[in-house]
Amino acid sequence: MNIILLGPPGAGKGTQAQRLVEQRGMRQLSTGDMLRAAVKAGTPTGLKAKAVMERGELVSDEIVSALIGDELDAMGAGEGAIFDGYPRTAAQATALDTILTQRGRSLDHVIELDVDEDQLVERITGRFTCANCGKGYHDRFEQPRQPGICDKCGSTEFKRRPDDNEQTVRTRMAEYRAKTAPILPIYEARGIVTRVNGMADIDDVTRAIETVLGG
């Protein structure tokens, strides 16, 4: 199964993708995570992307589509993909169709996380992740069971994203409205979009997604 999680910054794409990885053994393909890894490693892609990401703008379609193609090539044929943060423009949606067709894959579901933008700033500015395994947390909504210790790997080091400040978040949201929300009709026309209430508790959102994907 191949699915897209679609929603603005802070909608919960990464949070829900991590759960699907654990529960269903699918692979999370987050272009944001790939780009952050490239920035950290100082690759040519990372050098191009760094300032763009810090401003909250979109990196070029060619760069992100190439990253997605490479990740899919590294996956087993039977492994399902969760596209998290991709596609984000009409050009990326077109590229994804080609990328999937070339690999004998197709899209099964697009899950739209329906959220109230005003409350997303709090979600994003309170977010942090384990510096070792990447598990996501939140100051208010999802704290480690033992304070200061990652539930998943036991690390005591955590980090916050440089683009998780209010000003950059506002730019990221404007980019979403202008360039990403308009791609929804492409998938609606194919009858594969389901809207899920992304303002519910994290566990309830997971259950709603499970219902869409089925046993």
Pairing mode, strands 193-197 and 127-130:
unpaired
**Cis upstream peptide for 147 (omega within 30°):** no
Closer by beta carbon to ligand AP5, 76 or else 147: 147
Q: How far is the CB of 137 from ligand AP5 (least distance, A)?
A: 6
**Beta 109-114 vs 193-197: how paired, if at all?**
parallel
Q: What is the DSSP letter of 180?
A: I
Residue 27 or 88: which CB sits closer to ligand AP5? 88
Q: Are 126 and 21 in contact (CB under 8 A)?
A: no
Q: Is 161 annotated in the active site?
A: yes
Site for ligand AP5, rule CB under 6 A: 7, 9-15, 31-32, 35, 52-53, 56-59, 64, 85-86, 88, 92, 123-124, 127, 136, 138, 141-142, 172, 198, 200-202, 205
Question: Strand pairing of 158-159 and 127-130?
Answer: antiparallel
Residue type, 103: R
Catalytic residue among 19, 50, 88, 123: 88
- 206 touches, from ligand AP5, Mg ion, none (C-beta below 5 to 8 Å by class): none
| Active-site residue (options: 105, 161, 170, 179) | 161
Question: Catalytic residue positions?
Answer: 13, 88, 127, 161, 172
